[in-house]
Every structure is written in C-alpha cells, then in structure tokens.
Structure 1
Amino acid sequence: MGSNYLKQEFVTPDAQITLGAHKRQNLESVIYSYDENISKLIIPVFVPDGKELDFENVETIKVLLTVEQDGEIKKIQDTAIKEKSHRKQISYIITNRLKGYQGKVIMNIYLDLNNGQRVDLAEYGFTMVRSAIDKAVPEIERFYFKSLDDVIVELQIKADAEFDKIKTELDSAKQKIGVLEKQITKQDIVKNSDFNKYQNTIAATAQLQKITADNGESYLKVSDTEKILDRVISTGAGFRNGEATGKTSDSPTGSNVRLIINMVVTTAGSVIAQDTSGNVYSRIISGSVWRGDWQQLVSKSSFDELASRVTALEGKVK
C-alpha cells in the first residue's frame, strides 16, 4: 500500500521558547475547507543557549484552534506529534473539524512534559478558504428571500381558509334560522324568552368578528395623530384589513399604507403593510408592544442584483 498523499507540507517559522511574550506568527499558506488530512505543518522548536529541553520528555503536544463564526468565538482542541525528537520538530496535520469554515484561524501550541511541567510554546495564524462544494448550499439558503408573489399566495391561502370557515358557520346558522322560522310560523305570538333564546343560538354559532367594514372598505383606519399599534391592540383579536397614513409615528414608510392584521390573541399577532409603491413590510406584536423593527421584503430586482454579486464574488474566490 502506498504512503498517504500530502497536498502541502510546509515548515513554519521557529517556535521559540522565550521569557517574554511570544508574538503571533502569520503563515502565508492558504488551506481550503474541503481538504482533509492532507495539509501538514512542520514546526521547529528553538531553545535558546543556556536552556535545556529534552524533547524525549515531551509527553503531549496540544493544539488549540480559535475561529470566529457568526460573531461567536469557537475553539477546537487537538493534538500534534513529535516529528523528529533529536531535531526538536513538531508535526501537525490540519484537522478536518474546520471543514466548511472560512476566515482566519489562530493556532496555539502547548507542551506537556512527563515531569508535570507545561510550556505555552507558540502562536500562529493561517487562512482558511471555503471550497465551492462546502459553500454552495449554505449560500443559497442564506440569500433566499420570499418574493412578493410568495407572500400574496400565502395571504390568499389564509384568507380563503378564514372565508371558508365563516361560510360554513353561516350555512349552519341559516339552517338553524330556517328551523326557527318554521317554529315561529306555527305560533301566533313569539315570547320574549323564546326570541332571546334564538338570538343566543345565532350568536353562539356565527363568527361575529368582521374582516372589513360593512361597505367593504378598511375596517381599521389610523389617522395622522394615532399609532398603528394602539389601534390594533384596542380593536382586539381577529383577522381584518386596515389603512394608515404615512404621518403616523410607527408607520414603516412616509406614504399611506394598506394593512393586513392578524391578531391571534388580544396582545399578540402580526401586521403586514404595503405602501403606494408596492413595497411590503411586516412586524410582530407580542405582549401588546412591537417586537423588533419593520422588516421589508426584498423585491425581485434586488434579489437578482444580490444573486449576481454573490456569483461574481464566487468567481473571484476561485
């Protein structure tokens, strides 16, 4: 069987044992994230005159890799081996646990001696470049945005479901009203108690919350001096439409907006707003207050431009 293939094997600057603080030594080599067990570092250990270090006494060589990803510092612990004891050299093959990462990697080397002593030896820095095969899927997911058509379809599905529910309840109410009318026809006089009973039956069966005003216009109209949040909370739970001027203090834009309001309870729900230019915004309500800022849905032209830039950047990396 042949020996293991090494894509690159390079010698780092000396790891010097010194009384002062050791400085980070940046390596010029670039390592790709798809590479696995084929990039090897040879680290010479330099011991100043007058100092003694028998490399045979080195029991464990620890490696600490530090990276920053999504604003979070992550650390990976690994081990290296003695390449040549008589020459005081350390051998380390870059771990595949860095697979998919791109950016700066800080590598610290530590020695544990068999007599209980320990040495903080050196610090190096090198660069990881994400291979195309590692970044294809994440990048697509990262830059996926719902189009306006997607949002409209989702809203239409929700609205159809609400209308179907209301229609079913109305049909049931009509049937019961028909039964009541037949009973009334048979009687010359309807007692007040019976009339109240019929009203309660209808109220318990039909959904009384309105989605629009009786004439089909906006159910909720927010004026210049009012706030969208205050009007939505005071109106209560339910699914309804509305409108607001661009002068309201919590409007997402300076122009008039049309509103689709879905309050699942009195204190929590969501609001979708569309201005006169067709821009769409959304915002969440929880605990009777806004949670976060208005989020604007990206337009198709903006998405296409962003995708074009991503493609151009990928071409430069390659």
Structure 2
Amino acid sequence: MAERRMISKSLLMDNRFLGLSNDTKTLYIYLLSFADDDGIVKRSMMIDSVLRVDDHNYTALEENGLIIPDKNDQIKVITDWNNLQSIRKDIYRQTTYLEVRSQLFMRTDYSYTKNPDDKNVFSSADDWIKNGRPKDITDFNPLIQQHLNDRNGIRNGDRNEVRNLSIDQYSTDQRSIDQDSTAQRRTDQLSSDQDSKAQQTTNIKYINRSSNGGMGEILLPANGSTSTKYNNATTESGVNSGEDNGVNQDAENNFKMDPERTQEIASLFDSLNQAFDVNLSVDDERLRMLFNNLLNQYKIGYIENGLIELSESAGSQNKGNVKSLVVNHLSETVKSLLTN
C-alpha cells in the first residue's frame, strides 16, 4: 500500500463532504489514506478509537454515497476512489480483497457501484482494471451496450454469450496485461510455497522457555524426545504453554484456509504491525496458525483489541520480542478483555 494519497480540492468542495460532521470528515480522510490501490479499506479498531468514531459515522458516509459497504461490515469501498487518486501502472498493486472487488461495477464517471443495472455502468471493475484502468474513454456507448448484452446473456442463462470487454476499445498497452499475468503467477507460486511450509511444520516441535512468562522459543525435530507437538512443560506460572498460545495440533496439521479467512489473517498482521510499529511478514506460519486458531473462537475485532492492549502494556519491543509476546500472551489477553 502506498505511503501517500492525494486529497483534491474537488473533494473538499463537494457538498456531500461539506455536509458531514467534522469527525466524519476526518474519518473519510483516514479511510482514503489507508485504502489499498483499488480503494478498498478495512475498518480499523485503532483508527476508530483514536478518532472516537462509531457506526454512526460510517453510516453517514454510506448515506452520502462516499463509501460502499460490503456484506462483511468491516470492509469499505471508496466510491469515488478512481477520480480522487491517480496511480501509475508500474507501481499499482491490486487489492487482496478480490471477492469484494468482483462485486463492483464502473460508472461513466469512473466511480464504483454495486448495481450492475445502473444505466451509466459500462464495465465490471475487474474487467476495467484488467484492461489497464483507462480514464480517457471518449465513447462509452459501445461499452454500455456490450455490458447490457452481457447482462442479458446472464439473465437468460446463456453464459457462453458473455464476452470480455475488447482491449482495443480501451486503447491500453499489452504491458499492463503482462504485469497482471506475472503477478498472478507469483501469487500462485507463493500459495504453493506456503502450503509446502505448512506441511513442513508438522516436522517441528516448539518449546517455550522463559522466566518472565515465556518470551522465547526453541525448535526441535519431530523425532525428539518430547511426547507431544507442543511440549507439556509449563512456564513458571504453571500454565501449559501450548494452550496459552492458542495454537493446537489440528490447526497446524490442517492449515488450509478459505480466501475469506486468509484475508482476515492478513488484516490481523496489518493490525499487529500498526500496533507495535514493526513489519512482521504475513508468511510467518507460527503467527498465521495462532491467528487462525483465535479466529475460530473470537470475532476479529476482539483479537485486534487484544493486540492493542498488548502493545500498550509492552511498550517498545523488537521484532523477535513482539512475535514471542503475541504468541505467548495474545490468547489470554483476548480472554481477559472479554471478561471485563
């Protein structure tokens, strides 16, 4: 995600924006700043807490047409993203929320809508992005007609008639298409590598050791002398370290998740890195298994609150200490927050 976003005068003078309360205006600017390159952003408990905003503020943005909600109420789409931001092809990175983007359509003013029957819709968002995100189209009529034909084909059940939009109509270059193909191949390879790593973890055992609550870990081969995947040795407080970490053997051996769960885990890594000001990789299998197990028990917002609580109580930590802190204490922190 880019470190900088543009705020245009047209936005600041838009009556929909001017009519908002000051805290809702600030929230919208924050959403713009944290959105990915397709204008999709996940609601952050940290931002809500800092700005002291709630559902009412998000509803105001939705009612004014500035954001589009998703069925997952934590995900928001910036309606006018493509008018407010110009992102070069060579630095553009597509969203990780592909399922959300697949439900969006492009209007002739380049804004998003979820209504495919809007008379101004000329393409699906996926097709428009695949074809280079052009914003210099001079004649929308052929594209609108093509979209209507495709829609009629879907309604009639004749999916064989549904065709992709013509690249010639967009006057885009082949390089952007090749980049998308390359990015997809890299994504597929990464997924394959991650599956291999997950399989390899079945040959590793972890033992936590520390006199201050388990802030370190040792890796042992699977044929070591310990009797279980996670050693039954306790910390000085006498608590079983494997269960404290919120990670079980089933989660490790069967670590295959659906796309929605993968997105939730990626979001938790974002929250973790923001809370502790680090950049731990989403490829970290130990943390991924921890988050996956916790998501089976708690809503994602509770886990994010637990990360914030840990960061506030721990203060500044290096990457290694942050990982150990989260692995050893996040589960108990979430539990304690729910009982308060």
TM-score computed with the length of structure 2 as normaliser = 0.22
Q: By percentage of residues, which structure has more strand?
A: 1
Q: By percentage of residues, which structure has more helix?
A: 2
